[in-house]
Amino acid sequence: MSEIVRLALAEDIGSGDVTSTACIPEEQMASGRFLAREALVVAGLDLLREIYDCRGGVDELQVVRRDGDCVRDGDLLATVRGKARTLLECERVALNFLQRLSGVATRARQFADAIAGTGCQVLDTRKTTPGLRALEKKAVAAGGVTNHRMGLFDAILIKNNHIAATGGVRAAMERARASGLPIEIEVRTRAELQEALESGAAHLLLDNLSPNEAAEWIREVAHRAKVELSGGITLDNVRGYAETGADYVSSGAITHSARAVDISFRLELT
């Protein structure tokens, strides 16, 4: 993750933190505390060491929570001691990562809690912030949601446009098998569903169905393949989809619509 951290710091600091340079003596020491300002699930704390190391390091860094921990308003997350200029020039980048990633972890935990006891798993998607996918997927896992494929390279997901470009469900399945990778295929009609099952599909994606429609299709599958439901799945309706008998439900909202949570940094001179 060092490259992502380096780019974030370069974007913010540029040629230098002119405010801190103008106001604070170079050798002034300070300490700081990262505090939760609301109930949240923590993620991204392991980036703090990298952030400070990129700017010459600090004398002391103590991370007192772990990714995945549930904390309350006022709880301490980490403490740091070093040059005041270093702490200030790293403050916004550190908070941006912590607030964004903890927001994703918090939203993921809400989804996981919403389907508890159904036997269904929540999956994330590739609908992530460009450049931050690995970090956001790690935050998703910290929140208790299962990671789907990382990208286009590690599993095959045949979607409607692939089927159209290939000439049909059966043709797409036959060509994909040569890769040796796991295969999931989206089906949009009952005819495509039957064709996929007859072609030996082991993992089906059913998109944009209502919970009642999904339950009917899943009964027709009759455990011949794993079933994932997607499309319009939100925190408000995810349990209804999970109760259809699906093996998985996936939602892009876990990452693309997660709210940055409130975390503060308090600095004191030492």
pLDDT at 77 over 90: yes
> Rounded CA gap, 97 and 104, in Å?
11
Same domain, 210 and 180: yes
Pick from 75, 73, 67, 237: nearest CA to 144: 67
The pLDDT score that the predictor gives to residue 1 is: 59
Average pLDDT of the segment spanning 154-167? 95
Note the pLDDT tens digit of each residue in 25-46: 999 999 999 999 999 999 999 9
Within 10 angstroms of residue 13's Cβ, the number of other Cβ atoms is 17
pTM as predicted: 0.95
The pLDDT score that the predictor gives to residue 261 is: 98
pLDDT confidence band for 248 (50 / 70 / 90):
very high
Same domain, 98 and 129: no
> Per DSSP, what are the bridge partners of residue 61?
80
Same domain, 241 and 122: yes
Beta-sheet strand order (sheet of 121-123)? 121-123, 248-250, 226-230, 203-207, 183-187, 156-158
Same domain, 122 and 244: yes
pLDDT confidence band for 260 (50 / 70 / 90):
very high
Same domain, 247 and 125: yes
Same domain, 102 and 147: no
What CATH number corresponds to the domain at position 101? Answer: 3.90.1170.20
The pLDDT score that the predictor gives to residue 128 is: 97
pLDDT at 2 over 90: no
Domain holding 224, by residue range, is: 118-256
Same domain, 66 and 186: no
The pLDDT score that the predictor gives to residue 109 is: 98
Same domain, 207 and 232: yes
Are 234 and 257 spatial neighbours (Cβ–Cβ below 8 Å)? no
Q: Which residues are catalytic?
A: 92, 127, 159, 186, 207
SS3 112: helix
Same domain, 101 and 169: no
SS3 80: strand
* Count of domains observed in the chain: 2
SS3 240: helix
pLDDT at 191 over 90: yes
Q: Across all residues in the chain, what is the average pLDDT?
A: 97
> Rounded CA gap, 214 and 42, in Å?
34
